[in-house]
Amino acid sequence: MKQKDGQRIWRRGGLALLAMALVLAMLPYKQAAAAAVQKLPIGYNDELTNIKAEQSGDALYVPLREIAQKLHLEVGGTADKIVVSGSKHSVVILPAKQSAVSGKKTSSLKTYASEGRTMVPVSLFKGVFNFGIAYDASVPVIRITSGKQKLSLQSFVEQNRAALSANANGGKTGQKPQAPSKPQSPKPASSKPIYLTFDDGPTAHTNELLDILDQYGAHGTFFMLGPGISAYPKSVKRLVDSGNSAGLHGMTHVKSKFYASPASALKEMTQDNDALYKATGTRTSLIRTPYGSKPYFTQKYRDKVLAAGFHLWDWNVDSEDWKYKSDHQKVIDSILKQVDQQEKEGIVPVVLMHDQKATLKVLPQVLKTLKAEGYTFEVIQQNSKPVNFWHDKR
């Protein structure tokens, strides 16, 4: 019950924030920009673009030519007298004078060059061309609208939340980057990547688990439940800060609730991601559904959830550590045997384990043996090619 109440309050807080952001978006950009990060993804109508806004001083700036093209505006003139025109309105930008002329009105307009592009305040497109501009601080994202958008700002954010978080983090969750890949040269014989994954955490044992990983210089990917994240935020922060990867496992872990509908599955992952954001300041696009994605996570579920930008991960080595909680040697032998099998078939092993007390007993020997066999313990990245039972590569 406690959990539910907390969540409702938090959701209400989120709505208030959204409403506030909408108000701010109508004001001069001073206030809105103050809450922004340095690089912001930009949405145009219902599309999430690859164009990024930058915060400079107290305003948000966008690359003029890229945005103009997206907004179907023409850019002409010269470098010191840039003419931007739409079907009804136009503006002449004078970078040397830091001013702009629209109709008979001249106003000051700060511009600057960034990576060879002319950056202009995004407010220009509202002031001169009447585009709508909104800002959502929770992701964050800036959204420009022409009036042809179908989604509300909130729906737009929800639909793109995972992709937006990937953008905001530059495609990383803050984990240690994988060894630079050199596709041209053959892999050295010693390069045998393996993904260790831990489900159902975080728990009271997560710190010990991280201690063991640290001890062997290893990292793992943790598919975590929202309530656990809220209960052990420090463990989650440590996990992410020390180069492990965070993934989502939903909120309830109850089959009838999670798989009730595609919308319920998406909602659980989104709420889980919100909890992760609260604990670490980052979101992720990596998900593993409760009990694995087969048989319940059928096409219509995947269409809904993966369209929001999530990447689905199952496993190809099942430790069954949840089943044999006292027979540690059986679990160890089983993992090593299955890993060996995958390796022989040229498949990168993705090992399913659980964040639980029993795993603390098997992990040291597993790490020691695999390390001696030349494996490198890599973490699943947001841009890693997903491994799942459906072979869904989205």
Minimum distance of Zn ion from residue 227's CB (angstroms): 13
Q: Does 200 bind Zn ion (CB under 5 A)?
A: yes
Q: Of the ranges 86-94, 137-145, 200-208, 383-391, which one interacts with Zn ion (CB under 5 A)? A: 200-208
One-letter identity of residue 59: A
Q: Does 136 bind Zn ion (CB under 5 A)?
A: no
Q: How far is CA 356 from the centre of its chain?
A: 26
Query: Dihedral angle at the C-alpha atoms of 89, 95, 101, 107, nearest 10 degrees?
Result: 120
Within 155-174, the residues that bind Zn ion by CB under 5 A are none
Pairwise CA distance, residues 355 & 319, whole Å: 12
Q: How many residues bind Zn ion (CB under 5 A)?
A: 2
Chain residue whose CB lies nearest Zn ion: 199
Q: How far is CA 355 from the centre of its chain?
A: 22
Known catalytic residues are 199, 354
Within 180-199, the residues that bind Zn ion by CB under 5 A are 199
Minimum distance of Zn ion from residue 293's CB (angstroms): 12
Closest CB to Zn ion among residues 29, 222:
222
The DSSP annotation for 145-171 comes to: E-S---S-HHHHHHHHHHHHHHHHTTT
- Cα dihedral across residues 133, 136, 142, 143: positive or negative: negative
Closest CB to Zn ion among residues 199, 314:
199
Q: Does 314 bind Zn ion (CB under 5 A)?
A: no
Closest CB to Zn ion among residues 200, 272:
200
Closest CB to Zn ion among residues 54, 199:
199
Minimum distance of Zn ion from residue 291's CB (angstroms): 7
One-letter identity of residue 104: K
Pairwise CA distance, residues 381 & 375, whole Å: 18
Decide: residue 146, CB within 10 A, 0-12 exposed, 13-18 middle, 19+ buried.
middle
Minimum distance of Zn ion from residue 212's CB (angstroms): 20
For binding to Zn ion (CB under 5 A), which residues are involved?
A: 199-200
